[in-house]
Structure 1
Amino acid sequence: MANVMDVQTEDNLQYHFYPVSSGSIQFKVRAANDAHLALTLGPQETDPMYEVFIGGWGNTKSVIRRNRTKPDKVEADTPGILNGGEFRGFWVRWDGGVVSAGREGEVIPFISWTDPEPFHVAFVGVCTGWGASGTWKIEDGAEFDTPDKLEYKFGPVAAGSLQFEYRGPHNAHLCFTSAPAEVNPMYEVILGGWENTQSVIRHCRTKPDKVTLPTPGLMNPNEFRKFLIEWRCGRLLVRDGVTGAVLMEWVDPAPFPITHFGVRTGYGARGHWRITHFSPAAGQHLAPSAPAPAALYASPPGYPGGYGGAPMGGGQWIDASSGQVPPGAAPAGQDCSGEPLFVARAQHEGATIPGKLVQSHGCAYVPWGGLEHGKPQYQVLVGGSNNWVPTSGSAIPPGAFPGGQSEDGETLFVGRVRHEGSITTGKVQQSHGVCYISFGGQELGFPDYEILVA
């Protein structure tokens, strides 16, 4: 999308579509009511599609709708949110299945909904209707200011990283919590503190700081500085957003699930922020960390037939939901926290995908399209063999357990890998020569893995 676009929309409920290159847009609109946005795969009204209605029903409420069907997925009372005589600024974001909208300068959305089966958004459409014409100014990215006040502005996260740019003289403060408030447990990252001389990582607002690093001149009031913060299994990394170099690192021996971030400035500083919401490649399908799809492998000696049909004694798939573990299900791995993981599978984008069940999260996770997708409805593997055979590439041993199929009809097998202290189950896709797992919000691919054999 161009940096700035001026768009006129008539009172005809006909979307004007434009390509998007990131997972969010920022815009201003002048309309008396009914500013509508559509998020789609292509430049037309086709399913799947998200619609965000701002100031509908006589400028009294806003809703999120999927595939033009009712009931609406979520609605919020927003009286007077639009104005026909002045521009009002907003942002809309979509990542990891979370669709949200908020006012310019505010991090917390006024409306948000999580789609259990998200899709890749490539175009945005805008229109007005129901008695309103509109004027739009549309930009990429979201920016906002924080005053010289030690009070966090909170927003949700859906992946294990946050990329941002900050322009200010010093004291960029970030916190990471399990709620949109300053509650323990909490991580805090202070960049350019102590008059722009040092940076720290702090836990639960207590001293001594877990990490202290001299960073003289880290911040600049006249230019943006870019950073990336990542968290995974209690490991907190602060990176230079340009070079990727690690500035600070700390491992929490008792990690907690992070669901929100907060930003603030203080001690004489005002800050200007640009936040790439949810992940470094927001809104795009991340390329899995695996080789490009390879030609089908010719089975080597010891694997005379490759996969030759349904295995014997392979167990059963039992329906479950919301973290339930059916009786008889045996752990097949463990999270980096030590929690047992179970073999699960779920439907996604026309595929049946093997993955992992994390009971404490209340859902199963499956890898697809470069991302990790949480599924509250899933099936768990019960009974059968617990025989895991080491292999690599596209070498599928005889009797390998077929756990599902891709959207193209290719058989997917059940595999697992060891990664960052975990043993994580996922899908083996023979035509790609890797085992894919979902981990830290991403789909990761490994050419060496173990495969379940009946």
Structure 2
Amino acid sequence: MANILDVSTEDNLQYQFFPLSNGSVTFQVKAANDAHIALTQGPQESDPMYEIFIGGWSNAKSVIRKNRTKPDVVEIETPGILSGSEFRGFWVRWDSGIISAGREGEAIPFISWTDPEPFPVAFVGVCTGWGATGTWKIEDGAPFETEDKLEYKFGPVVAGSLEIDFRGPSNCHVCLSNVPAENDTMYEFIIGGWENTKSAIRYCRQKPDKAEVPTRDILNADEFRKLLIEWKCGRFLVRDGSSGAVIMEWTDATPFPVTHFGVRTGCPVSTSSLRHAGRLPWSGQRWWSPSLGRRSRRPGAPGAVVGGQDCSGEPLYVARAPHEGAIIPGKLVGSHGCAYIPWGGAEHGKSEYQVLVGGPNNWVPTSGSSIPPGAFPAGESEDGEPLFIGRVSHEGSMTTGKVQQSHGVCYISFAGQELGFPEYEVLTA
């Protein structure tokens, strides 16, 4: 199974980081120049850090840099190595202090360097700049091959869904965990078990199973079957990847954070593939993590979407935060150092939040339950209903909040209260 990430980067030299499961990453990138790759211990730009700049200096040369200091440890001429009109494939590897990068299909690197004082790498970051934007297809490591011995192989997750192409006669097992290892904190999905007659959801390796449904012949030894596993706010769904039909589901009232997936089989499988789904609907948009989100306190934080302004004139950024099993859109007030979300008739301050970065700023007037095309479902109620990003003019402010279609209003948090308005604007692509 190969773990594929589709990523868009802006012309801002701001890395987007993803966890890694082994000592290599392969990718395709479409950029006119300056495709930058960072290798780090954590999901942020900090030392220690390796950087590989491919196609820098107007697509003329490539370098390796350590700890953001000059001179570069190695430099090589690579004229025309990137293209702004077509994808070019590359790989990056690190092993025993040897950092190397090569072209897709070539075993010999075009640039490499041995670090006498290496550090362990757990994350990869990508970015573009110096006049270039980029579109990336990133593959974390080699395809998974699973043997007939019921041992999970693990990889990282960065979104709330997995799309699986599986070929085998029975027993496609997938787990979701908070560590890259088998432990007593796992969700397990047994698809086509019991000689390909039924499927089940298991919690923390305990029986009875939380869900069990008959699924005779759901798998096939001769052809790939597409499956989709989704999780949001403790609700877990397994779908038919072709039709979208729900195969089984279960809700955990007290969910734990999922950071890794594992795959295994109880039968020989020749090959299979897996990729992350759940990309946000417009290119370049992403939600920053809570720690990075706090950077938007600074005026002009790169790419953070300004949704309105406070009564004082201070900008309000589009944000969201978890609350009572829901993910709720709201507002970030930079000077307060926290986000505010509306729920249950009250305004709730959140020190942990995410900020919308890289999206458009198209606001469409509407009313009631009329949601315009292109509206972005940025959250989910505790009952699983999509929540959209809205904003309302109120008492000298333009305040962002949540739109709940079934209620026919936009809710904002204001002066300690949750206020609902039937006339509002919705953020759209």
Q: TM-score, normalised by structure 2?
A: 0.51
Task: Give yes or no for the alignment of 1:420 onto 2:382.
Answer: yes
How far has the Cα of 1:450 moved from its partner? 1.5
What secondary structure, in the 3-state scheme, does the structure 2 residue paired with 1:242 have?
coil
Alpha-carbon distance in structure 1 between the residues aligned to 2:260 and 2:381: 25
Q: Is the 8 A contact 1:23 1:284 kept in 2?
A: no
Shift of residue 285, structure 1, vs aligned partner = 3.5
Which amino acid letter does the alignment assign opposite residue 273 of structure 2?
Answer: R
Match of 2:365 in 1: 394
* Mapped contact 1:199–1:215 kept (Cα < 8 A): yes
The alpha-carbon distance between structure 1 residues 335 and 225, as it changes in their structure 2 partners (threshold 3 A), is same
Asked if 2 retains the 8 angstrom alpha-carbon contact of 1:393 and 1:447, the reply is no
In structure 2, the residue matched to 1:256 is: 256
Secondary structure at the aligned position of 2:261 is classed as strand
Match of 2:209 in 1: 209
Deviations 1:35-93 (Å, cap 9, x if unpaired)?
A: 998876x53214xx43269xxxxxxxx94457976526999544679899x96699xxx
Unmatched 5+ residue regions in structure 1? Answer: 1-19, 25-34, 54-61, 91-108, 125-137, 289-306, 318-331, 348-352, 372-391, 397-415, 439-443
Q: Does 1:122 align with 2:135?
A: yes
**Given the alignment of the two structures, is residue 45 of structure 1 paired with residue 56 of structure 2, yes or no?**
no
C-alpha change, 1:450 and 1:71, in structure 2 (3 Å) is same
Shift of 1:336: 3.3
Going from structure 1 to structure 2, the CA distance change for 1:210 and 1:198 (only over 3 Å counts) comes to: same
Q: Check 1:244–1:148 CA distance in 2 against 1; reply closer, same or farther (3 A cut).
A: same
The answer on whether the counterparts of 1:341 and 1:424 sit within 8 Å (CA) in structure 2 is no
Q: How many Å apart are 1:113 and its aligned residue?
A: 3.1
For residues 361-372 of structure 1, what are the structure 2 equivalents within 5 Å?
363-368=352-357
Aligned residue in 2 for 1:275? 274
Per-residue CA deviation, residues 380-423 of structure 1 (Å, 9 max, x unaligned), is xxxxxxxxxxxx96379xxxxxxxxxxxxxxxxxxx98723499
TM-score (norm 1): 0.49
* CA distance in 1 between partners of 2:329 and 2:279 (Å): 28
Query: CA 1:140–1:78 in 2, change beyond 3 Å: closer, same or farther?
Result: closer
Over 3 Å counting, the alpha-carbon distance change for 1:254 and 1:185 in structure 2 is: same
Cα deviation per residue 1:346-388 (whole Å; 9 max; x = unaligned)?
Answer: 79xxxxx97769x9x98420234579xxxxxxxxxxxxxxxxx
**Matched residue SS, 1:144:** coil
Deviations 1:297-330 (A, max 9, x none): xxxxxxxxxx998626x9999xxxxxxxxxxxxx
Identity %: 35
Q: Deviation at 1:451?
A: 2.8
Separation in 2 of the partners of 1:255 and 1:111? 25
CA contact (8 A) 2:93 2:101 kept: no
2:322 touches 2:353 (CA, 8 Å); kept in 1?
Answer: no
Of residues 412, 419, 424, the one that matches 1:451 is 412
1:336 is matched by which residue type in structure 2? E
- Judge conservation of contact 1:237–1:250 (CA < 8 Å) in 2: yes
Q: Structure 2: give runs of 5+ residues left out of the alignment.
A: 9-23, 40-48, 57-62, 70-91, 110-119, 287-306, 343-347, 368-377, 416-429
Q: Deviations over 1:283-308 (max 9, x none)?
A: 974999xxxxxxxxxxxxxxxxxx99
Q: 1:246 to 1:75 in 2, by over 3 A?
A: same
**Could you tell me which residue of structure 2 aligns to residue 377 of structure 1?**
none
**Amino acid corresponding to residue 256 of structure 1 in structure 2:** F
CA shift in 2, pair 1:269/1:235, >3 Å: same
1:90-109 Cα deviation digits (max 9, x unpaired): 9xxxxxxxxxxxxxxxxxx9
* Alpha-carbon distance between aligned partners in 2 of 1:262 and 1:239, rounded to the nearest angstrom: 18
Residue aligned with 2:195, SS: helix
Conserved 8 A contact 1:171-1:265 = yes
Q: Does 1:344 align with 2:332?
A: yes
Assess, with a 3 A threshold, how the Cα gap between structure 1 residues 368 and 339 changes in structure 2: closer, same or farther. Answer: closer
2:158 aligned partner, one-letter code = A
What is the CA-CA distance between 1:212 and the residue it aligns to? 0.9
1:50-449 equivalences under 5 Å are: 50-51=36-37, 63-65=50-52, 71=67, 76-78=94-96, 111-113=122-124, 121-122=134-135, 143-266=143-266, 268-270=267-269, 272-277=271-276, 279-281=277-279, 285=283, 311=311, 335-337=323-325, 343-344=331-332, 363-368=352-357, 394=365, 419-421=381-383, 428=390, 448-449=409-410
